[in-house]
Amino acid sequence: MFRGELLKLTTTAATKVALAVGVLGLVATQLVLVVLLPALASGTIGPGADALGDDLPASGVATASAQLASLSPLGASGGGGSLSIAALAVLVLGVLAGTTDYRFGGIVPTALAEPRRGRILAAKVGATAVTGLVLGAAYAIVSLVALLVSLPATGTTLEIGIPDIAAVMARGTGVVALLALLGLGIGVLARSQLAGVLIMLGAVVLELMTQGVAVLATGAWPLWGQALPLTLSQAAIGSTPSEIPSLVALAGLAGWVALILAAATVAIRRRDL
């Protein structure tokens, strides 16, 4: 069943589009934010930061923290509580993985071949996790290449060690897989592809709006706001400052995924197909 679910993911046009959009969106993001803007700021391209003045956004890869931030597999702009094209594509991929069988009627023959519905969901989880890990590794390589291209383009040197690079890339790959599973759980609960995508987008927008209102009302970023899935994903990668340690954030994100998948397990066992 695992190979069957993996075949569905790798041969369905919608999932291929989601994968392509995620990779191309990340390439475009990193080229602009990690390569082009720092090169403009350093004067390698164009008249330099002094001539451009306030028209040039603050950017650079000269410091260790900036280089770590640029390595995020979700994109250099994906600060805490924000949403990047790469993250959105992964979530949509998960929703598609959870709803394709319902859309095309494949869930019925699948259930006839394997009446134990828990095993059906387990196969979907395994296939989605493997796909997410592969996609996460591709994201991480894109971000690393962008940083390596940016260093000579801006005349700076690498300020972080190989262990730091490997740690960010490994955690980022795991985060991408967890986000795909989060989308899968939402998709199984929704069953409809349109409903699943809308629910996912609604949850994402609600998280961003809730955090924005909380910051405006209190003047600070509340701890509960940092425990929401999108923000935990950034904290787990560890490329941006956060009050929550990376491994704790990774465990918290895994907890959200386990909660959603547990609800999906109950739903797929009890309702009609």
pTM over 0.85: yes
Residues 219-245: tens digit of each pLDDT? 777 777 788 898 899 889 886 667 788
| Cα distances (Å, whole numbers) of residue 136 to 103, 163, 172, 178, 191 | 27, 18, 7, 10, 25
Q: 154-161: long-range contacts (C-beta < 8 A, 24 or more apart)?
A: 154/38, 154/39, 154/41, 154/42, 154/44, 154/60, 154/61, 154/62, 155/42, 155/44, 156/42, 156/61, 156/62, 158/67, 159/62, 159/63, 159/64, 159/67, 160/64, 160/67, 160/68
CA nearest 29: which of 81, 67, 85? 85
Residues 178-213: tens digit of each pLDDT? 999 999 999 999 999 899 999 999 999 998 888 788
Residues 116-141: tens digit of each pLDDT? 888 999 999 999 999 999 999 999 99
Q: Higher confidence at residue 223 or residue 163?
A: 163
Predicted confidence at residue 19, as pLDDT, reads: 87
Predicted confidence at residue 51, as pLDDT, reads: 67
Using the predicted structure, report yes or no on whether residue 272 has a pLDDT greater than 90: no
Query: In this structure, is the dihedral angle defined by the CA atoms of residues 57, 61, 64 and 67, taken in order, positive or negative?
Result: positive
Predicted confidence at residue 69, as pLDDT, reads: 85
Residue 219: how many other CB atoms lie within 10 Å: 7
In contact, 149 and 45? CB cutoff 8 Å: no
Residue 72, phi then psi, degrees to nearest 5: -60, 125
**Domain count of the chain?**
1
Most confident of 112-116, 166-170, 228-232: 166-170
- Is residue 232 classed as helix, strand or coil in its secondary structure? helix
Which residue range is the domain that position 141 belongs to? Answer: 1-272
Residues 5-57: tens digit of each pLDDT? 888 888 888 888 888 998 999 999 888 888 888 887 777 777 666 666 666 66
Residues 5-14: tens digit of each pLDDT? 888 888 888 8
Using the predicted structure, report yes or no on whether residue 273 has a pLDDT greater than 90: no
Using the predicted structure, report yes or no on whether residue 58 has a pLDDT greater than 70: no
